[in-house]
Structure 1
Amino acid sequence: MGSGLFFFVVGPSGSGKDTLIEGAKAALGPSGRYVFARRAITRPADAGGEAHEALSVDQFEAVSAARGFLLQWQAHGLRYGLRADLLDEMAAGRHVVANGSRAMVAELAAHVPHLVVVEITAPAEVLAQRLTGRGREAAENIAARLDRKVPPFPAGVAVIQVANDSTPRAGVERFVAALEGQAARLRLVRMPIETGRRNVAFLARGCTVVAAPDYLGPGRVDLAGERRSIRAEIALVSDSLLAHDAVGLSQETFAALGLPEGAELVLTRTPVPESRAALRRKIRGEALDEPAYVQVVGDIVEGRYPDSEVAGFLVAADRGLTDGEVLALAKVRASFANRIVWGEPMVVDKHSMGGIPGSRITMIVVPIVAAHGLAIPKTSSRAITSAAGTADAMETLARVDLDAAEVRRTVERARGCIAWNGRLSHSALDDVMNAITRPLGLDSTRWSVASILSKKLAAGSTHVVIDLPFGARARVKSAAEAAEMARLFEQVGAGLGLTVEAIPTDGSGPIGRGIGPALEVRDVLWVLEGHPDAPPDLREKALFFASRILAWDPAVGPANARARAEALLASGAARAALERICEAQGRWSEPVRPARLTRTVVAATTGTITNIDGFAVAGIARLAGAPQDKGAGIDLKARSGDHLRAGDPLFVIHASSAADLDAAAAQAATFDGFTFDAGRESAASR
């Protein structure tokens, strides 16, 4: 049998400790699981107050000399003690409840294996009324009691609070519930079940410690033990799979908790979030202010809401956020992030709303800016629905899974980095939000503004340029939407103390030739090396955005920024800067090359190309294996405006396996993404 708990009940005079303890004794004493300690006090037995063991001063000294007290202290001219045999009760698995002094918590913690301090609280006016009703003290003495400052509890001691501000019956009910909640000790078992992002705990349906079916539903529970805790949802299993005194955790939840199997855990219900009223106001369509978002976002991060309620909140946010709400959300999101402080007057960054295949300008902009000398700690995402993200592309050359310290070292050595943002945890909110928004297809541009700028603020940026490509297949659909989004980015950025320039750009088709990590990096290197096959549109867009960043440097200014960017590119300084970045991040011994298996897709008709559907060609590249297979993708051989004859090449598919190559070619035969004049579409391969 495991050790019982020691409940040490503390609280100011007038809080009602004696009343609550007596009520709990009547309710829990008959179970045999609890022992209610009698304090030894150097006070006559008939002196009133709690039922105690009356000892003379000499008797008290004799017990103390014989080491008969577990704990002893002095207060109000009296000596108090708790008998040492209470440890035997705990060893037998019974829980001890004792009235005590706050000042003795640290000493008691050193003597008992499982201490839980129960602090009884009540408002000052209630305490004053109760003390006055006793008739034992003058008003000035009562006032002095209430003004007395109490020291904080020692670190690492479990403390629960019970409010005794209502009727005695209500106070006893709360006190009993608190004791029973802490006494719900379950043995930890690691279950051979994987639950992904969700923290899941399992109880046997016939659990003898708690009524397991009562915990089913949308609510969460807290599981705590040995100074570690985790929040989880409950699922039930048959009695044959789990012992009745155990709680099972999924593989991921067990790893996150970090305690060994067999450890004792206390199970309690997660408190109802205080922010629920604000969350429901948002779901009804009302606007929230910053303090409300602090509460709501904090409770979401803490896992106090089930996914269904978070989803309702996010759907409401997707439907509408005011400008003020976007700024409030950005501030709140940044407050939950691990902020990097660079100690430099200017730290620049570049972000794109994405969705344009092949537009890998970041890998050109960062080296140009770094070669100039400005700090540009660029962190990027991996692909979600596209054929490559910047992190996927950079990973063909070097490590991208850097932590904050490695990002700092890289920027100190090379003035820039191109890292994956997955290890940096710029926002503690992202994992929760993305797990819900992506399956629901929620893609609010206003929510994105708050998210993006909060990350830039957390990354320590001072100046940020935003690329807003718009087009029928882009994330931003129209020039008007892009202009409105640019206004919001710049306004919210100013509210955060950032200098932000957001620029709408043409997103009607792919940029560059390669679509897929290795093929896109090939284009990047061609631009940096001045190769004759370098895609001119990729070069031009990269120079444009690099110039906008360099224009912020007072030593350059807008008038000279373009010439400076071109000079850094033409001289090879930018190419050398990329080499330094790769070395600092951890260069691979061999870069990833385009996959060797190929198939050419050709035009089925003669005519002029009027449109290339970037979403379609990216889909073909993904079927070829990109971005997981970094060598896979497609190499465009034709562009919008080109006049082709039937049989001329449109693009070449690259894949590492014959099955992937066949799948991509089959999709291209159905629709290759190219539209010719007179509405004719091409679909042929060889």
Structure 2
Amino acid sequence: MDTHSNILKYKHLGIYTQNENVVYMREDCHVCISEGFEALTRIRISNANTSIVASLNVLNSDILLPNEIGLSDAAAKKLNVSPNDTLYVSHLEPIESLSHVRAKIYNKKLDYKAYNNIITDIVEGDYSNIHLSAFITACAGDRMDIDEISDLTKAMIASGKQLNWNKDIVVDKHCIGGLPGNRTTPLVVAIVAAYGLTMPKTSSRAITSPAGTADTMEVLTNVTLSSEEIKTVVEKEGGCFVWGGTAQLSPADDVLIKIEKALDIDSEGQLIASVLSKKAAAGSTHVVIDIPVGETAKVRSTEMAEKLKNHMETVGTAVGLNVKVVVTDGTQPVGRGIGPTLEAIDILKVLKNEEDAPKDLTERALLLATELLELSGKVEKGKGQETAHKILKSGKAYEKFVAICKAQGQFSKPVLAPYKIEIKAEKSGVLQRIDNRKIAKLAKLSGAPQSKSAGILLNVHLGEQIEENQLLYTIYAESKGELNYALEYENNHNDIITIN
């Protein structure tokens, strides 16, 4: 290739594509013509310092001159370019690891080397969203055995930074998800850190739910910390509540999660690899995993839970983690809030020991804190519950929570969305069923998690006697349009809550 003929001048276009690298060139650009580039071709863009791979969008307008090239904001940031900078355009060399993806599509077993090649190319940005979708889909269902899950986990750990706390015991916990509300993690971190254990909690944003722990904690504090900033906070306070995306811990996971969210896929193998790679990379040694089981939860049967439990513990051992799995009730949401701000309010009520704090959230947080304290070996078996309860009721957990938030940059008060509508019972009877998936979808349609203060405030629980016209839940939204959108779904689904 003659590099001089493949030189173009960068023009800023201000196009947001989330994290996807996109390049824009004119149809009559000499590079497009000479190299035979077509729309959606994957090409390499380079400057004097670095290079990226991007998908080509071809323009037929005067936005660009024939000798100019545009980039999505994400691509421009990665190249660190300024207007009029010179960029070099070339064909993308063959991505060898795609042969492994094709093999997996045909259900072939892959080894560590294959998964490592795939993950390395994903982190390098060589995979398009189509390639990522193919890989995720090929691994879905029961298409990965336990050795493959272990190898994928190891490859994901190796793909990014790994923290070292120089401690024998570093604890963590994770919930498999699928249960609206259930924001136990910040409570467990506060209790365990107040006891004196180290818990560097990195969390994901929502994949298929109305809120992830990072989304909820972002209402209260800054969660976007570098690995160096995480170390500073944890060394000072013993714990943190941060989003794992900026810490470069298992960075492939953050790429895959975005595609999984779009596909609404969260398969077992990649779920295990996602969770445990993040824990190992964060320097954890002892991890409690919460698996809620229920008809409309992510895990729907005790058989599925037992299989997942065994796989979690086996893969944990393979990557050097001491994993304890706790199977919990997943038949209904936990807490009252569903959505970042509403869940943050629940957290604060529990930590402050307020009279109307959700009892179920309190009890589940204490259960998981108990398991983690005892798993660490620092608290005698049978003494964990008493220890956790004392820390929470004494106010020490709240003090630690606030201290961690302030160490991360701020401690903010949650503010509810301005628009709301109350949903009331149309008849009397016993509350028989709450559909976790549908009430979660309702919260998402109201705007959560993108609209932080949107969501659902639940007023009832399973088994309660409900009277006609009794308040069941309130939908919150940041705009009238989102509220109406959610209400339309609610009107068309009368089985979100079942009363007989």
Q: Is the 8 A contact 2:336 2:458 kept in 1?
A: yes
| Residue in structure 1 matched with residue 352 of structure 2 by the alignment | 529
Aligned to 2:472: 650
Pair 208,510 (structure 1): closer, same or farther in 2 beyond 3 Å: closer
Give 1:542 shift. Answer: 0.7
Equivalent in the alignment of 2:388: 565
The residue correspondences of 1:186-197 to structure 2 (distance < 5 A) are 186-192=7-13, 194=15, 196=17, 197=19
Deviations 1:626-668 (A, max 9, x none): 3344333333222110112212222233445555445544544
Listed as ranges, the matches of 1:149-188 within 5 Å are 180-188=1-9
Match of 2:374 in 1: 551
Provide the identity percentage: 36
Corresponding residue SS for 2:328: strand
Match of 2:343 among 515, 520, 524: 520
Taking the aligned partners of 2:284 and 2:329, their CA distance within structure 1 comes to 26
Q: Which residue of 1 aligns with 2:329?
A: 506
Deviation at 1:431, TM superposition (A): 4.5
Q: Give structure 1 regions of 4+ aligned residues with deviation exceeding 6 angstroms.
A: none
Within the candidate set 348, 361, 366, 2:171 is matched to: 348
1:228: which partner in 2?
50
Query: Does the C-alpha gap of structure 1 residues 442 and 247 become closer, same or farther in structure 2, counting only changes over 3 Å?
Result: same
Q: Residue type of the partner of 1:263?
A: D
1:439 paired residue number: 262
Map residues 404-483 of structure 1 onto 2, 5 A cutoff.
404-483=227-306
Shift of 1:351: 0.6
Structure 2 match to 1:150: none
CA shift digits 1:229-248 (9 cap, x unpaired): 22223343348554444444
Distance 1:284 1:408, change over 3 A: same
Q: Distance in 2 between matches of 1:273 and 1:542?
A: 46
Q: Which amino acid aligns with 1:551?
A: E
2:448 aligned partner: 626
Provide the rounded CA distance (Å) in 2 between the counterparts of 1:268 and 1:663. Answer: 46
TM-score, normalised with respect to structure 2:
0.91
Distance change (3 Å), C-alpha of 1:199 and 1:564: same
Partner of 2:154: 331
Contact 2:337–2:343, Cα closer than 8 Å, also in 1: yes
Distance 1:649 1:466 in 2: 34
Partner in structure 2 of residue 301 of structure 1:
123
Counterpart of 1:272, as a letter, is: P
SS of the residue 1:610 aligns to: strand
1:286 pairs with 2:108: yes
Question: The residue matched to 2:186 in structure 1 has which SS?
Answer: helix
User: Structure 2 matches for 1:578-657, cutoff 5 A?
Assistant: 578-588=401-411, 590-595=412-417, 597-657=419-479
Unaligned runs of 5+ in 1: 1-179, 678-686
**Offset of residue 464 of structure 1:** 0.9
Supply the distance in 2 between the matched residues of 1:430 and 1:235 (Cα, whole angstroms).
27
TM-align CA RMSD: 2.5
2:201 is the alignment partner of 1:378? yes
Relative distance call for 1:494 and 1:204 in structure 2 (3 A) is: same
Summarize the Cα distance change of 1:296–1:529 in structure 2 as closer, same or farther, 3 Å threshold.
closer
Alpha-carbon shift at residue 450 of structure 1 (Å)? 1.0
Is 1:541 aligned with 2:364?
yes
Task: Report the structure number with the largest CA radius of gyration.
Answer: 1
Pick closer, same or farther for the CA change 1:273–1:209 going to 2, 3 Å: closer
Deviation at 1:377, TM superposition (A): 1.1
Rate the CA distance shift 1:253–1:631 in 2: closer, same or farther, 3 A: closer
Tell me how many residue pairs correspond in the alignment: 497
- Aligned pair partner of 1:497 in 283, 304, 320: 320
Higher RCO structure, 1 or 2 (CA under 8 Å, sep 6+): 2
Matches within 5 A, 1:13-162: none
SS at 1:296's partner residue? helix
Paired residue for 2:185? 362
Task: Return the alpha-carbon distance in structure 2 between the equivalents of residues 249 and 661 of structure 1.
Answer: 35
The 3-state SS of whatever aligns with 2:323 is strand
For residue 396 of structure 1, what is the amino acid of its counterpart?
Answer: V
Question: 2:13, 2:70 within 8 Å by CA — same for their partners in 1?
Answer: no
Q: Which one-letter code corresponds to 2:46 in the other structure?
A: A
Q: Does 1:259 align with 2:81?
A: yes
Instruction: Output the amino acid matched with 2:301.
Output: S
Kindly provide the amino acid, as one letter, of the partner of residue 365 in structure 1.
Answer: V
Once residues 657 and 619 of structure 1 are traced to their aligned partners in structure 2, the CA distance between those partners, rounded to angstroms, is: 17
Shift of 1:448: 1.0
CA contact (8 A) 2:207 2:260 kept: no
Whole-angstrom CA distance in 2 between matches of 1:376 and 1:286: 38
